[in-house]
Amino acid sequence: MKKKELLGEWINYALNSKNAHGIHSPFVFDFYNNCIKGNVSADSLKIFRQIRKELLTNNNKIHHLDLGAGSKVTSSPTPLVKQIAKASLKKEKEASLISKIVKYLKCKTVVELGTSFGTTTLLISLETPDAKIYTIEGSPEIAAVAGNIFSRFPKNKIKLLTGSFDEQLPSLLADIQIADAFIFDGNHRKEATLRYFEQALIHSSSDTVFIFDDIRWSSGMLEAWNVIINHPKTSLSLDLFSMGIVFINSNFSKQNIKIK
In this structure, which topology does domain 3-56+90-258 adopt according to CATH? Rossmann fold (3.40.50)
User: What confidence tier does 8 reach under pLDDT thresholds 50, 70, 90?
Assistant: confident
Q: What is each CA distance from 67 to 80, 185, 197, in whole angstroms?
A: 18, 12, 17
Q: Name the strands in the sheet holding 109-113, side by side, starting at the edge strand that comes first in the sequence.
A: 158-162, 132-137, 109-113, 179-184, 204-213, 243-247, 236-239, 255-258
List CB contacts of 175: < 8 A, sequence separation 6 or more.
none
pLDDT at res. 71:
47
Reply yes or no on whether the pLDDT at 147 is more than 80.
yes
Query: Is residue 200 within 8 Å of residue 209, measured between CB atoms?
Result: no
Q: What is the pairing mode between strands 179-184 and 236-239? A: unpaired
User: What confidence tier does 12 reach under pLDDT thresholds 50, 70, 90?
Assistant: confident
Q: Indicate the domain borders of the chain.
A: 3-56+90-258
Q: Tell me the mean pLDDT in the region 85-105.
A: 96
Long-range contacts of 66-73 (CB under 8 A, 24+ apart): 66/138, 66/139, 67/138, 67/139, 67/164, 67/165, 67/186, 67/187, 68/114, 68/138, 68/186, 68/187, 68/188, 68/189, 69/187, 69/188, 69/189, 69/217, 69/218, 69/221
Tell me the per-residue pLDDT of 103-136, one tens digit each, with 9 for 90 and over: 999 999 999 999 999 999 999 999 999 999 999 9
Q: Tell me the mean pLDDT in the region 1-19.
A: 84
pLDDT at res. 191:
96
The pTM of the whole model exceeds 0.75 = yes
Tell me the per-residue pLDDT of 180-224, one tens digit each, with 9 for 90 and over: 999 999 888 999 999 999 999 999 999 999 999 999 999 999 999
Lowest mean pLDDT, pick from 13-22, 89-98, 103-112, 249-258: 13-22
Among the residues of the chain, which ranges form H helices? 3-16, 26-31, 42-56, 81-88, 92-104, 119-127, 140-151, 165-176, 190-202, 219-229
pLDDT at res. 102:
98
Tell me the per-residue pLDDT of 20-72, one tens digit each, with 9 for 90 and over: 777 888 999 999 999 999 999 999 999 999 999 999 999 999 976 665 545 44
pLDDT at res. 2:
78
User: Which residue(s) pair with 137 in the sheet?
Assistant: 162
Share of the chain above pLDDT 90, in %: 81
pLDDT at res. 63:
79
Q: Tell me the mean pLDDT in the region 225-247.
A: 96
Conformational region of residue 44, where left means phi above 0, alpha means psi within -120 to 50, and beta covers everything else:
alpha
pLDDT at res. 23:
84
Dist. CA 161–CA 12, nearest whole Å: 39
**Largest Cα–Cα separation, the chain:** 51
pLDDT at res. 65:
64
